[in-house]
Amino acid sequence: MIDPMIKSAWVALGGDRALLGRLVCVERPGALIARLPVQRLARACVGTCALAAAELGALRAGLDSVPRAVVDDGAVVTAFHSERLLRIDGRAPVNFAPLSRWWRAAYGWVRTHANYPHHRRRLLGALGLPDDAGPEDVERVLLERSALEVEEAVYAAEGLAVALRTPGQWAAHPQAVEVARRPLVERVAIGAPSGRQLPPLERGSGPLLPAAGLRVLDLTRVIAGPVATRTLALLGADVLRVDAPELPELADQHADTGFGKRSATLELAADSGALEELLASADVVVTGYRPGALDRYGLSPEALAERYPGLIVAQLSAWGAYGPWGERRGFDSLVQVATGIAATEGSTMEPGALPVQALDHGTGYLLAAGVLRSLTERSRDGRGRLVRLALARTAHWLTTEAGRDPRPGGPEYEGPEAWLAERDSPLGRLRYARPPVSFTGGPADWATPPVPYGSSPATWS
């Protein structure tokens, strides 16, 4: 029997329900211990992505049937820990900076995010502290203010801080009301029909790569967006990650999500000609900045659809491209705080968290699945697609629509070792989580390791 979460995700992606019979699940209960059914969510997101990949591969290769997709909880759970399991020459990654943590406020709890230097400066500035202030200084100031007061002050300074809310408090919030009205995956055809089609795949001795020949412009950061584009790279796409030179990605984050990609820097305003050259040959544009942040560069879905009919535009945000928080910055840890997840997973003494950053990883695989399904749909009508997901909407799916975890029987998860791999790279010797997206005849690993940040030209290969 297909898990209802898998079914709801596949339906949200516009998939044919009959294809659900091509998905096989290997369940390993108890790998992600939580009050909420986070392991089911992880399985559903990866499983539907694998099924979408198999569907597109069958279409392009002219196969009589869709290959069997397999989702193994062991691979999924390991991949959802990827940023924690990564080792670079034996060194463990740094995932959170000292000022990215929980704090007691005069009333309530508040969580801050200050991994990036510019976010750290904004946080300290909002609190009236100098740039060299430490955790003890922040703690002293926050004990004098309410959590909601801190949230608003830091947001006004374009920093990141969110007050802890219970599920009920979040449900009554205007942003939560807007989030609940939206589908899990927003999908709409955009632009005029075009002649864009991916060429048929010639079957040889190598793996079936559904995204072979696809050019993906990756304008994302942190985890969710880069997980989506890392998955498209696994499936054969030429993925070019582009960052602003003045805002480099965190080194360990870049290493974890950079598999299969190239990395370039580009000043979008100054190098508009180079950007247009990339867009003119792109099949997919994936963005992960807050809604509207890239519109001034001609990167709104409407502008892109008008200039490049047939283009697939995939957008990711924290809170959704709507409602009073539509333009706010956010990360997985902060969305868990606002939406009641941290309260649910915590105790009467202190807030908690999901065992993995499941909103990031899960939304990333759903976004990749949305791109793959859009390419399949474009083969029928020639039209481009806009695909939108939000971490807050994924949180709503987990907290209010998923139901209980049935705790099925099956083999136990005995740790990540069976789903880890090692290889040399320009960054050093890497130990990393193998990709969880799997289908018969598909790739087992990325073709290339991550490259140094900004080491690639801003051109298609």
Name the residue among 272, 303, 271, 260 with its Cα closest to residue 285. Answer: 303
**Distance (Å, whole) CA 426 – CA 446:** 15
Residue 331 near residue 318, CB atoms below 8 Å: yes
Residue 79 near residue 357, CB atoms below 8 Å: no
DSSP 160: -
Mention every residue, 6+ apart, whose C-beta is less than 8 A from residue 434: 75, 78, 79, 419, 420, 421, 444, 445
**Distance (Å, whole) CA 72 – CA 82:** 16
Annotated catalytic residue, options 131, 360, 381, 445: 360
**Distance (Å, whole) CA 181 – CA 446:** 37
**Distance (Å, whole) CA 344 – CA 354:** 9
Residue 360 known to be catalytic: yes
**Distance (Å, whole) CA 358 – CA 36:** 11
**Distance (Å, whole) CA 268 – CA 152:** 30
Instruction: Give the strands of the sheet with 23-26, arranged side by side.
Output: 23-26, 69-72, 438-439
CA of 16: how far to CAs of 10, 48, 72, 94, 339, in Å? 8, 11, 22, 41, 31
Name the residue among 314, 373, 397 with its Cα closest to residue 48. Answer: 373
Q: Residue 8 is encoded by which pair of tokens?
A: 């709801």
User: Which residues form the catalytic set?
Assistant: 360
